[in-house]
């Protein structure tokens, strides 16, 4: 199966009432872990690469690994998505390389730190939609800003500083024509999201529900959605790590989101924790080992377990065979004919 459009995947998810995990990758083992989990659970899947991932891997390597994944797992609908594109040029280079979906995160300026104005965000996102749709490529925009800065991306502060305003969300979608909309509801990237199990005072599910009521047909995206489970923290700390106690986004809150229009759920940190725990365990228990396969294999297996669990929890499991992929060239024609519903 060729790489498919994220718009098609999310439209299908909306029809089926489920969410689709979008998992970040930087290397071959992470892609293999996701594809194995997708095969085991029969899930359609979104694999995403950040700017950091593209730089780390030289993105052509990643692109060809994705083509290998599509060839080796032909039964799995697979999207290659750019995570947090910071400028028109970044998105354009991803589209030129062959990504089938891009995020233009115009909620921040190009530095990935300073919040932009609403007008700046609309302008850059609208320009990306124009060139992306002309090639059949999907666009995710963002309105509101996530908290934290742990991974070098974000405005800093608590996740509550720039929660999405539902009125602005409506205007943003109308003015840009995005296919999917990331919103800020109090989450942040990385492991340190909340200092205790989050309640409605820090995780604004009420705002998400209000946005969904105003935009019932728009595919919503939750960023910073790792659950940071204690058992993954414990493995790291048991084998010499030094994570401070922390809480992520409980899976049941994500499931509430899915019942209210969330179709894409971004997860990176949980996989980083699983990989690191598995590697630390090998190093601690068998310090005489030095063949990278001795620790990369259990790391890949640990990530696969987390991804398969999320695929089941988000509801995408069992849906890989529901539909035939629409070629990107056909998506291009549909956008041109305005046959893809304006959101």
Residue with tokens 């988000």: 314
> What is the smallest separation between the CB atom of 112 and ligand G3H, expressed in angstroms?
9
Distances from the Cα of 306 to the Cα of 31, 43, 293, 312, angstroms: 13, 14, 20, 10
Q: Rounded CA gap, 304 and 40, in Å?
A: 10
The Cα 321–Cα 311 span in angstroms is 15
Residues 206-225 that bind ligand 13P (CB under 6 A): 223-225
CA-wise closest residue to 96 among 85, 107, 105, 106:
85
- Select from 7, 84, 300, 319 the one that contacts ligand G3H (CB under 6 A): 84
Three-class SS state of 111? coil
Nearer to ligand 13P, 24 or 86 (CB): 24
Partner interacting with residue 313 (select from ligand 13P, Zn ion, ligand G3H, none; CB below 5-8 Å by kind): none
Nearer to Zn ion, 41 or 266 (CB): 266
Q: Which is nearer to ligand G3H, 81 or 319 (CB)?
A: 81
Q: Show the tokens assigned to 206.
A: 């009420």
**Tokens at residue 226, please?**
């790792």
Can 151 be counted among the known catalytic residues?
no
Nearer to ligand 13P by C-beta: 3 or 249? 249
Mask for 268-307, x = binds ligand G3H (CB under 6 A): x---------------------------------------
Contacts of residues 199-204 at CB distance under 8 Å and 24 or more positions apart, as own/partner, are: 202/158, 202/159, 202/160, 203/249, 203/253, 204/160, 204/163
Check binding of 90 to ligand 13P (CB under 6 A).
Answer: no
- Burial class from Cβ neighbours inside 10 Å (0-12, 13-18, 19+) for residue 180 reads buried
Residue 30 or residue 226: which is nearer to ligand 13P going by CB? 226
Fill in the per-residue mask, 96 to 125: x = in contact with ligand 13P (CB under 6 A), - = not in contact.
------------------------------
Chain positions contacting ligand 13P, by CB under 6 A: 24, 83-84, 189-190, 223-226, 266-269
Chain positions contacting ligand G3H, by CB under 6 A: 24, 50, 52-53, 83-84, 151, 153, 189, 268
């Amino acid at each position: 199966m060729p790489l498919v459009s994220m718009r098609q995947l999310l439209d299908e998810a909306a029809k089926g009432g489920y969410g689709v995990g979008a998992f970040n990758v930087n290397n071959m083992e992470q892609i293999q872990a996701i594809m194995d989990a997708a095969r085991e659970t029969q899930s359609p899947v979104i694999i995403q690469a950040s700017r950091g991932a593209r730089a780390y891997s030289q993105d052509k390597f990643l692109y060809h690994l994705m083509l290998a994944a599509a060839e080796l797992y032909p039964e799995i609908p697979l999207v290659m998505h750019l995570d947090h594109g910071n400028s028109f040029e970044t998105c354009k280079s991803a589209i030129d390389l062959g990504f089938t979906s891009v995020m233009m995160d115009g909620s921040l300026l190009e530095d990935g730190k300073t919040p932009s104005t609403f007008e700046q965000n609309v302008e850059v996102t609208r320009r990306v939609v124009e060139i992306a749709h002309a090639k059949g490529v999907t666009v995710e925009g963002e309105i509101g800003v996530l908290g934290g800065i742990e991974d070098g991306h974000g405005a800093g502060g608590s996740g509550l500083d720039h929660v999405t305003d539902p009125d602005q969300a409506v205007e943003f979608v109308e003015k840009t024509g995005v296919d999917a909309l990331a919103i800020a509801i109090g989450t942040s990237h990385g492991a340190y999201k909340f200092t205790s199990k989050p309640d409605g005072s820090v995780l604004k599910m009420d705002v998400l529900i209000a946005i969904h009521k105003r935009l019932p047909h728009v595919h919503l995206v939750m960023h910073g959605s790792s659950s940071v489970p204690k058992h993954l923290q414990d493995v790291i700390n048991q084998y010499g790590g030094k994570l401070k106690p922390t809480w992520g986004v409980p899976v049941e809150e994500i499931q509430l989101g899915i019942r209210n229009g969330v179709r894409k759920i971004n997860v990176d940190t949980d996989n980083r924790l699983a990989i690191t725990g598995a590697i630390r365990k090998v190093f601690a228990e068998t310090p005489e080992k030095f063949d990278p396969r001795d620790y990369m294999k259990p790391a890949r297996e640990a990530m696969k377990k987390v991804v398969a669990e999320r695929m089941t929890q988000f509801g995408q499991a069992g849906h890989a065979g529901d539909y035939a992929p629409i070629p990107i060239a056909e998506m291009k024609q549909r956008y041109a004919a305005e046959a893809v519903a304006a959101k």
